[in-house]
Structure 1
Amino acid sequence: MNQKQLLRPRADASVLGAPLAGFNTADAVVYLNHLERERASATLASLPLPRAVKLLEAPELQHAAELVAALPPARAAALLGLMADDRATDIVHELDQDARARLIPLLDPEARRSIQLLLSYPPNTAGALMTTEFVSVPADWTVGQTLQHIREVERNRETVYAIYVLDPDTGQLQQVVTMRRLITGAPDDPILDVAQVNPPVTVGALLDQEEVAQLIRRHDLLAIPVVDAQRQLLGIVTVDDILDALIDESTEDVHKFGGVEALDRPYMQIGFLDMIRKRAGWLSVLFLGEMLTASAMQHYEDALARAVVLTLFIPLIMSSGGNSGSQATSLLIRSLALQELRLRDWWKVAVREVPTGVVLGTILGVLAVIRISVWQLAGLHDYGEHWQLLAVTIGAALVGIVTFGSLSGAMLPFVLKRLGFDPASASAPFVATLVDVTGLVIYFSIAAAILGGTLL
């Protein structure tokens, strides 16, 4: 079978592609996602190339790499060659080694070079996210020449909202011209006359995607050029690509913060054993941590035997400390992610969180004292003859534990970041477990100081 036959839609295209006839791209992607893998691949194979490319380029299409791998090699290579380089690279990256080795040699030379270049950069960097499909022109061109060039190449470029002006001799990036400024210029005007005044904002290929996002947001850009050490233009990172990457990263952080290994697929598509594996590890670690809580309670077994009433407030004490720690952790993780804080700011955060914890703990302590007093005086529960001291104990313990929870919850993301870990790993369950153990020590230490000689 020759290449043209492989690229020709299948004979049953009218049957497989009929349901997609009235769908726009987004609805067609939803339809394909609900099909069994084999039928989805067959449907994709039956569509005209431009239509299939549109569907494969949609980030919402699930299992795109598996669908491509199931296609005839020549057709799969043709689709990859027509796609945006960055999206094609994402799909190739997900292919297994055999499928990758089978498809890459079939790509046209230009697409193969672009994909191999993008594959060489580490994940989550500007180089891995960038596309090599941008519009660039020499600095000695006119506005008219540039507009004519855009008309000729726009179908093969991811975006034409920014035109990159290069030195005609060295190829170095000199300036950026927005489409808005370009169309306001006269045809005979030099292209540099309509370029922006400020030097172009650029990034290196190895810059982390979060820092790229910060620059795009700060300078209100639709795309940011990626250059090498000699200011040669390697590619551009567009705002839609960085948004997709940050959504994936935020989803991963949310999973981590819930004490779960990050899911690489939608919830309903994770197999039972995979779900157990992703949840069991963290759950086991947290369980081992909670065992320290049991050890702490065993240490105070005699005190509990003499003052059983103290056990009534253990859940209240532990949950309050864990909640305050989780609040602080979530705030600090977000601030670190947005680069509102740096590692060197840890002491400023500590100075801020200590009084915050004291005030929050005092509020909860007052509520606890009121609750104990009302229950005692209304006859709802008898806390014994020393109930006033018990109320003071609970109130003071809440101040201490909430303050410790706020401080430890705020410092933990800094510690993890300093050690090279993702601050999002400071999950809410992990913080709660840490505060549970130390909270018991604080609780019984305060109880011993206040109730010594009475209940204890």
Structure 2
Amino acid sequence: MINTLFLPELREMLADNNHAELSEFCVALHASRTAEFMAGLTSEEISQVFQHTDPDNRSDILSYFDRQKQVEVVSELDRNEAAKLVELLQPDDRVDLLQEVEDDVREELIALMPAEVRRDILRLDQYPEDTAGAMMTTDVTKFSETMSVREAMDALTVQAEDFETIYYLYIVDDENHLRGLVSARQLLTGMRKPTQKLGELMQTDVVAAHVMDDQEEVANKVARMDLLAIPVVDLERRLVGLITHDDVIDVVREEATEDAHRIAAVEPLDQSYLRTSVLTLSWKRGIWLTILFVCALLTAFALEQYESRLKTLYWLVPFIPLIISSGGNSGSQSATLIITALSRKHISVSDWAKVVTRELVMGLLLGVGLATLGLLASWFMINTEPRVIAPEDQPAMEISVDGGETWIANEVGGEVQSRVKQETQSLTHLAFFVVPLTLVLVVMAGTLTGSVLPLIFEKIGLDPAMMSNPFVAGIIDILGIVIYMTVAAWLVGV
């Protein structure tokens, strides 16, 4: 986020090289607010501001810039200075940033860091993206179960600044296996018995994440358990890292953004909208637009198959947009509800029978409501003007309207045929029910399709959000045409 409130003052201070005011600016506010006010500066200007504050504060401010701005700033700085700045970041943030810079810059920066930091970077870098291992920090407050409460408190007082969070103290054995945890509150209350061992005080039922767990699963676990942080363990349950709530919030935002993009039929963006190039944006949007174009083309083909029928029952044509939009909208609603429920773990694939039943009932209720409106609309449109409906082998030549009845004169000597009149009256009355019945069936088909397809995607291991609303609507468009023409043929008999 960019806040331009202080930009003129900042640039004026830079122009005057006002060390005192620039130094005060860097420490007067929380680092996140400072970064917000500095985000509008160029990377060169930011590097100049950084010269007026200490390295720790620089790294704090840098951590609150978006990733692209971080890359620009690090690339602008002297390599030694940049390496020191990146080194002071939290381990997970450090790796994320280094993955974004140019390969040659990355190698230079890593080479300038201490051996211990290099090993930590390589260890975290080996985990696949979007896993717990990739998002964890290795700065963990861990103590031996044989340590006393007094010893733990003394050690924590000395080491607190080196850890990202001290809400939980994780208790490990001599081989680093996670045995339990002690909260900061427990440690404080435990000072009543300062000689008590942490092993006696700790909770042994510890919720942990595996290094290869998907980040979305980890976020759901943290949210479900109301945790401030969650430890990360390997296959042998050795403590290897920690995921804090701020990282979980980032994951939730990222996943929500991706789902929103996919539901709208847009491939998720890797960067912010304005930082994404026009070519990249057009490619990510064009993929789904092409798929949706094919769906629309299939709808056109479906209409073409009923061309001769529509020539006879031409009064059906005005209702086509109403039919397909009602089905598409109901399907999109169902898809959104099911995708959201799946992402929040409110339902699972095993609940498919309940979901299908509920959506069919919902489709019936919604369809009946829309059918009532459709009946009124069809009655109004069919009766507002005379309609010509005649056998194909006897084209109509004249129209006579008398008392609300439509009479058709055909080629047989210009005489009015009572048989044609009777068929016309019967056809018009049945026509009232084509649109309402179709609406009921199409809306039910929409709710069924919109609920089942995300479940199928979840079952086969794909992201349910890929079943976008426009894609569901495209499928229902085709089904809507087929259902509409089938109902018309059944009721009218043409």
Q: Could you say what secondary structure the match of 1:35 adopts?
A: coil
C-alpha deviation, 1:177, in angstroms? 0.2
Which residue does 2:162 correspond to in 1? Answer: 156
State the AA in 2 paired with 1:84.
Answer: Q
Q: Could you say what secondary structure the match of 1:226 adopts?
A: strand
Residues 170 and 428 of structure 1: CA distance in aligned 2, closer, same or farther (over 3 Å) = same
State the AA in 2 paired with 1:211.
Answer: E
1:256-405 equivalences under 5 Å are 256-373=262-379, 379=384, 386-405=427-446
Which residue does 2:86 correspond to in 1? Answer: 80
C-alpha deviation, 1:12, in angstroms? 5.0
User: Which of 149, 157, 182 in structure 2 is aligned with 1:177?
Assistant: 182
User: Which of 174, 193, 200 in structure 1 is aligned with 2:200?
Assistant: 193
8 Å contact kept, 2:230–2:243: yes
Q: Count the aligned residue pairs.
A: 441
- 2-structure distance, mates of 1:127, 1:190: 31
- 1-structure distance, mates of 2:268, 2:70: 20
8 Å contact kept, 1:80–1:107: no
C-alpha deviation, 1:40, in angstroms? 3.6
Q: Could you say what secondary structure the match of 1:63 adopts?
A: helix
User: Which of 130, 133, 148 in structure 2 is aligned with 1:124?
Assistant: 130
- 1-structure distance, mates of 2:243, 2:169: 13
Which residue does 1:447 correspond to in 2? Answer: 488
State the AA in 2 paired with 1:158.
Answer: E
- 2-structure distance, mates of 1:37, 1:16: 20
1:429 equivalent in alignment to 2:470: yes
Q: Could you say what secondary structure the match of 2:253 adopts?
A: helix
8 Å contact kept, 1:56–1:64: yes
State the AA in 2 paired with 1:410.
Answer: S
State the AA in 2 paired with 1:89.
Answer: V
Residues 323 and 188 of structure 1: CA distance in aligned 2, closer, same or farther (over 3 Å) = same
Q: Could you say what secondary structure the match of 1:137 adopts?
A: strand
C-alpha deviation, 1:374, in angstroms? 5.2
Report the more deviating stretch, 37-46 or 205-214: 37-46
Residues 446 and 229 of structure 1: CA distance in aligned 2, closer, same or farther (over 3 Å) = same
State the AA in 2 paired with 1:173.
Answer: L
State the AA in 2 paired with 1:251.
Answer: T
Q: Could you say what secondary structure the match of 2:274 adopts?
A: helix
8 Å contact kept, 1:30–1:61: no
8 Å contact kept, 1:29–1:61: no
- 2-structure distance, mates of 1:278, 1:41: 34
Residues 393 and 16 of structure 1: CA distance in aligned 2, closer, same or farther (over 3 Å) = farther
Which residue does 1:14 correspond to in 2? Answer: 19
State the AA in 1 paired with 2:467.
Answer: A
Residues 451 and 136 of structure 1: CA distance in aligned 2, closer, same or farther (over 3 Å) = same
- In the alignment, structure 2 segments of 5+ residues that lack a partner are 1-13, 389-424
Report the more deviating stretch, 331-340 or 264-273: 264-273
Q: Could you say what secondary structure the match of 2:433 adopts?
A: helix
- 1-structure distance, mates of 2:120, 2:441: 59
State the AA in 2 paired with 1:193.
Answer: E
Which residue does 2:398 correspond to in 1? Answer: none
State the AA in 2 paired with 1:416.
Answer: F
State the AA in 1 paired with 2:335.
Answer: T
- 1-structure distance, mates of 2:310, 2:44: 63
Which residue does 1:5 correspond to in 2? Answer: none
RMSD value, Cα: 2.4
- In the alignment, structure 1 segments of 5+ residues that lack a partner are 1-8
8 Å contact kept, 2:23–2:53: no
1:420 equivalent in alignment to 2:461: yes
User: Matched residues, percent identical?
Assistant: 35
Residues 363-422 of structure 1: CA deviation (Å, up to 9, x unaligned): 111121133335667x5x667855542231101101111111111111111222233321
Residues 302-350 of structure 1: CA deviation (Å, up to 9, x unaligned): 1111122111111110111111111111111111112222233333322
8 Å contact kept, 2:71–2:100: yes
TM-score, with structure 1 as normaliser: 0.90
C-alpha deviation, 1:18, in angstroms? 6.8
8 Å contact kept, 1:45–1:71: no
Which residue does 2:63 correspond to in 1? Answer: 57
Whose radius of gyration is greater, 1 or 2? 2
Residues 13 and 119 of structure 1: CA distance in aligned 2, closer, same or farther (over 3 Å) = farther
Q: Could you say what secondary structure the match of 2:19 adopts?
A: helix
- 2-structure distance, mates of 1:158, 1:374: 69
8 Å contact kept, 1:205–1:226: yes
- 1-structure distance, mates of 2:169, 2:121: 22
8 Å contact kept, 2:216–2:255: no
8 Å contact kept, 1:304–1:311: yes
8 Å contact kept, 1:322–1:405: yes
